[in-house]
Structures are given as C-alpha cells and as structure tokens.
Amino acid sequence: MEIKFADRMDSFKEGIFTTLAAIKKERMSEGKKCYDLSVGTPDFVPDKHVIDALTEASRYAENYKYAITDSDELLEAVQIWYKRRYRVELEKDEIMSLYGTQEGLSRVCLTLCNPGDIVLAPNPGYPIFDLGPALNGAKIEYYELRIENNYLIDFDSIDEEIAKKAKAMVVSYPANPICRIAPKEFYTRLIEFANKYNIVILHDNAYSELVYDGAEGLSFLSMEGAKEVGIEFNSLSKSYNLTGCRISFALGNEKVISQFKKLRSQIDYGIFVPVQKAAIAALTGPQTSVERNRQEYEDRRNALCGGLNSIGWKGAVSQGTMFAWAPLPNGYINSEEFVLELIEKTGVFCVPGSVFGSLGEGYVRFAMVKSVEEMKELVQVIKESGIIK
C-alpha cells in the first residue's frame, strides 16, 4: 500500500535536537566527555512541598478520572500569584490551563485565524512561534529582531499593508533564543500598535522569573490596555522546575480565553488533578527557591559569558531566560558547521542559531544547565582546543 502523507510533512526535517542527541550517545559510548548545553531542561529539582502535593494527590483513585475543568482552587492560586507577583487582577474567566505553552501556541490560532490569515512572528524566534500558527493554517510574516535595535521590535519597519491584514502577533520577552528583555515603554508601544491595526497579541512570558542584573521581570498584562488586545502565556516549567508536568496558563482577554476553552474542550480534557495540586503548591507555597535558582542561573551566566569573553569569544550575553546567545567566533560563518566542530574538538554541545530563523545564522544558543564549576571547566576546554582563533 502506498501511503501519501500531507504536504506539510515535506517541510519537517529531523530536528537538530535529535541529531545532537545521536552524536552525544555516540560520544558517550566511546567514553568521551560531553558538556550538553543544548536542551533547556532545568537541572534543579522541584521544591519538596510541590513534590509532596503531587505525590499525596496521586494516592487517591478519584484523582485519576478526567479533570474536565480547572479546579477553583487552581484558578484562585493563579489569581493570588498574579496579583502578588505582577499586581495584576484576573477574573477566573480570564484564566485557563494548558499542557505547556507549546500546546497553547500550537493551537490558539485555530480560534483566531482562517486559512491564509496573517500572523506576525519574530525572526529569530523559538520554533513554535511560527510553526504553531502555520500548522493552524495561518500565513507567517516575520518581523526582524536585530542587535542594532537591542533586539526589540522595530514597529516602524513592519509593512503597513501587512500590519493591516494581520490577525495576531507572537511576542516574547524575556526572549528565547536571543536572551534579551524589554522595558515597560516597549509594551506601551506594543499595545498602541495592536490597537492601531486590530491585532491580537500572543505574549509568551515563560521566563519572567529569570532576569538578571537587578532587572524586573514584567507581565504584559500589567500594562494598561493589555487585556483589551491580547493574552499572555505563563509557565511553571522553568520558574518551578516542573517541565515534565506540562502545566502552563493562558491569561488575559476574556473573549480569547473563552473561545480557546471552547476549542480545547473539543479535543482534550483538563490537567491531571495531581499536577493541578502540584501547581497550587508551587504558586501558593514558599517562593525562596525561585530567587535561589535565579541567582544560580545568573552565576552560571557570569561564568559562561564572562569566561567566553575572557578567552576571546566575544559577545556572549544573557539579560534573561535560562539561555545565553553568542555570535560565532572569528573565522566562522555557518552556525551548524561550527556547532559540529565545537562538539568534535571540545565535547561542548550548543544549538546553531539557524534553527531559530534566518537572522539566527551567525549565532549559537547555550542552555545554562551546568553548574558554575562545570561552566568554568568547559570554558577552559574550549580555550585549550584552539577553536577560538
């Protein structure tokens, strides 16, 4: 039998993470050292009170039934957290849970876009920012994030005819992969832009707790008029080290949330009750580990970026997220070729910037998932390899 697959499958290639995982497996089988800074999975563990809440809830058989909706307890925990953390008042009908922000961005445009409708997405940007809307039938138009504009959106550079036709715009700060944050005045301009062109803003705020050098992690929803023009995604994955639990939230504009809930009710059920209990414990319990982990990431940032700069690999930076973004060293122009050479000579794994869009070429992204001591060690290994010319 000849199976004919959908045309969209022709655009999918083997992911770079799959390629890197295969190389790592081979190196380890040969007894070679690996410093894997490719995948952004926190190496910290969840707080004990969070694990205990999940474990305790898992003991009861009734919690294994479908959770059709979010519990009132969960919604109230989110309300309390957003008010305490961002001074944002949320109604319960402005909140919904998701299996991670990637689920949200992969589906939300089903509620907003007809086939061929335009969605604005960043270049460079995390792959789901354009892939999600594209899978929903949207046409992607990219806005450029360039170093000369501090990686902020240059609204004046967006073609007005495209802006007039756009239905939604994906925005993310602190930004993965470029590791920059945005000031308050940026969000004021974003809201003005959204109102002018009647564009729904989809703001990914996964890293608001991971900002450095005394900066304030903001919520888009804390800005006047934000709820009128969009929603925000906020995740417990990185803030509370719950990546495997797959729980995040879409919050904001009640009309968008209502339609998104209606869509989701047709294709899925609610979050597993023990995971809801873990989220409640994380949001309402002691918050000391959030700051402790943020400080550890900042120390790692200092060791990695400062170390690379000290050995002649200039330009590595991270204002926020759990990643660092660095231009290729002198003498290199192809990010994928450089990454493979770096692995071969040092055992240090990172991700080629080309994965994140055409403007990511010429850069690499590091995940800061090794201790300060390991960061210093791998910097020394890079120095001794001779790859920095």
pLDDT in tens, 312-358: 999 999 999 999 999 999 999 999 999 999 999 999 999 999 999 99
The residue ranges of every structural domain in the chain are 14-43+289-385, 48-284
Q: What region, left, alpha or beta, does residue 150 occupy, with left being phi > 0 and alpha being psi -120 to 50 degrees? A: left
Q: According to the model, what pLDDT value does residue 175 have?
A: 96
pLDDT tens, 272-284?
A: 999 999 999 999 9
Contact 114, 135 (CB under 8 A): no
- CA distance between the termini of the chain: 55
Q: What is the third-level CATH fold of 48-284?
A: Aspartate Aminotransferase; domain 2 (3.40.640)
pTM: 0.95
Q: Are 304 and 368 in contact (CB under 8 A)?
A: yes
CATH 3.90.1150.10 fits 14-43+289-385, yes or no: yes
pLDDT tens, 165-195? 999 999 999 999 999 999 999 999 999 999 9
Which ranges in 113-225 belong to alpha helices (H)?
128-135, 160-165, 184-197
Q: Residues 60-96: pLDDT tens digits?
A: 999 999 998 999 999 999 999 999 999 999 999 999 9
Q: Would you give the DSSP letter of residue 147?
A: G
* Residue-wise pLDDT tens digits, 10-59: 777 667 778 898 999 999 999 999 999 998 889 999 999 999 999 999 99
